[in-house]
Homo-oligomer: A and B are copies of this chain.
């Protein structure tokens, strides 16, 4: 073994421990921490974040990395870790320590400000904070930008490599052209579908029991994971033996049902990462898009199919009781696949979902590239919702304040949701050539599907890019056509 690499690993382990600590604090903040703790805990998280940065750009890390290169003879995996660390080092070292730290502190309180503004349905109460966040993110991007690189492209790159604005403009262009008319048509066709039984007064414990059952059925391992409740469902992990998901319980039971399947899709990715990659810089999903691909594949392509529900529908309706118990499976499926333009992205049906994402992509571009003032956002937001979906938010909470992302400084994340759906459809078309997916689902053999995804995707963590994975699995480069085809097949009928 390369001796220098051992030293490199020891330094990386420290950075990873700090990252795990930050993940735990974030989990704790969203699920449990007392409400007055914020300001003080922000100081702790800010310091951990600063220490993470210091560790990554330290002489110790640089020296260890340089020694590895000099000594040579690294394995492919070791090379990849080194490359990943160097990229992170470069990304971080161009941001001055003080600014990095100040932003980490800001970020730790910003979500609270956003949540309060949302509660009060008043975007302008969040606007000054958002303006500061946008300034930070633009400045950070300008530090990182390569010669001539646009700022929003820098941001996009941190979530999804090889997908610049140019690529995304083309991608979203195709989606818009195909989906806007498809959505209008499909919407009319299912206008009469009854979904009132989804929001009958089911007891909370039934929702909890169903959530646990579904998570386990899809493959969540409760010996290596935890499920809790938070305002905004998410998945996090400390390593591949501690993966955590959250859900929320609303009046409409499909909200928690599909959020649990979605988060379990994320969790399967993290649980499936190889042991030699977990707790290293490669111990995470390939990209945000590939992560969303896994979650949305399970939530929609699998989770809203007839074959998935056939073996478990009886059990699930037993848990909920009446009125669901008397609803035929086909009526349930029609309800959870009904397309109707709504205001809330996370509650959107599969077809209109990408239009929600498209709106955010366009707004982020305006915000970052065209310097549109933050205070204009609600109006821009509402206009775009009218244009693409034909609905107009009644207040900011169901408008520009609905998502947590911007309060976290995540600009460029949203496109991942649409890309992930498109990745998923492309993989789905290929999988169907290799196995009888419907039969497997009807027989409850989700283990075969999990094994397939683990072998081709999960195990590699960040060792391969999403484009590489797609090419290896499907034998061709990324193409949005499968996603459009999938939606046409499903909603064109």
Q: CB distance B34 to A222 under 8 Å?
A: yes
Q: CB distance A50 to B279 under 8 Å?
A: no
Q: Which residues of the other chain, B, contact A34 by a CB distance below 8 angstroms?
A: 222-226, 241-242
Query: Smallest distance from the beta carbon of A298 to chain B beta carbons, Å?
Result: 20
Q: Contacts A17-B51, A21-B44; is A33 near B239 (CB within 8 Å)?
A: no
User: A41–B493 Cα gap in the complex (Å)?
Assistant: 50
Q: Contacts A14-B47, A25-B21, A48-B21; is A239 near B32 (CB within 8 Å)?
A: no
Q: Which residues of the other chain, B, contact A279 by a CB distance below 8 angstroms?
A: 40, 43-44
User: A459–B84 Cα gap in the complex (Å)?
Assistant: 47
Q: CB distance A241 to B39 under 8 Å?
A: yes
A28 within 8 Å of B (CB atoms):
yes
The interface bits of chain A over 238-264 (1 if a CB of B lies within 8 angstroms of the residue's CB, else 0) are 111110000000000000000000000
Most chain B beta-carbon neighbours within 10 Å: one of A21, A36, A50: A21
Query: Smallest distance from the beta carbon of A304 to chain B beta carbons, Å?
Result: 29
Query: Smallest distance from the beta carbon of A99 to chain B beta carbons, Å?
Result: 16
The interface bits of chain A over 64-82 (1 if a CB of B lies within 8 angstroms of the residue's CB, else 0) are 0000000000000000000
Residues of A within 8 A of B (CB): 13-14, 16-18, 20-21, 24-25, 28, 32-37, 39-41, 43-45, 47-48, 50-51, 222-226, 238-242, 278-279
Which of B17, B28, B35, B240 contacts A47 (CB under 8 A)? B17
**Closest residue of chain B to A51, judged by CB?**
B14
**Closest residue of chain B to A31, judged by CB?**
B32
Q: Within the oligomer, what is the number of copies of this chain?
A: 2
Which of B33, B43, B238 contacts A13 (CB under 8 A)? B43
A-B contact pairs, 19 of them (CB 8 A): A14-B51, A16-B44, A17-B45, A17-B48, A18-B21, A21-B24, A21-B44, A24-B24, A24-B28, A28-B28, A32-B226, A33-B226, A34-B222, A34-B223, A34-B242, A37-B242, A40-B240, A40-B278, A41-B242
Which of B41, B43, B45, B241 contacts A36 (CB under 8 A)? B241
Q: CB distance B226 to A40 under 8 Å?
A: no
Query: Smallest distance from the beta carbon of A160 to chain B beta carbons, Å?
Result: 28
Q: Which residues of the other chain, B, contact A21 by a CB distance below 8 angstroms?
A: 18, 21, 24-25, 44, 48
Q: CB distance B242 to A40 under 8 Å?
A: yes
Which of B13, B41, B51 contacts A239 (CB under 8 A)? B41
Known pairs A17-B44, A17-B47, A36-B241; list 16 more (Cβ under 8 Å): A13-B43, A17-B48, A18-B21, A20-B44, A21-B21, A21-B25, A24-B28, A33-B242, A34-B224, A34-B226, A37-B239, A37-B241, A40-B239, A40-B242, A41-B238, A44-B238
Q: CB distance B40 to A241 under 8 Å?
A: yes
Q: Contacts A24-B21, A24-B25, A28-B28; is A36 near B224 (CB within 8 Å)?
A: yes
Q: CB distance A13 to B242 under 8 Å?
A: no
Q: Which residues of the other chain, B, contact A48 by a CB distance below 8 angstroms?
A: 17-18, 21
Q: Which residues of the other chain, B, contact A43 by a CB distance below 8 angstroms?
A: 13, 17, 279
**Closest residue of chain B to A39, judged by CB?**
B241
Q: Which residues of the other chain, B, contact A17 by a CB distance below 8 angstroms?
A: 43-45, 47-48, 51
Q: Which residues of the other chain, B, contact A45 by a CB distance below 8 angstroms?
A: 17
User: A25–B222 Cα gap in the complex (Å)?
Assistant: 19
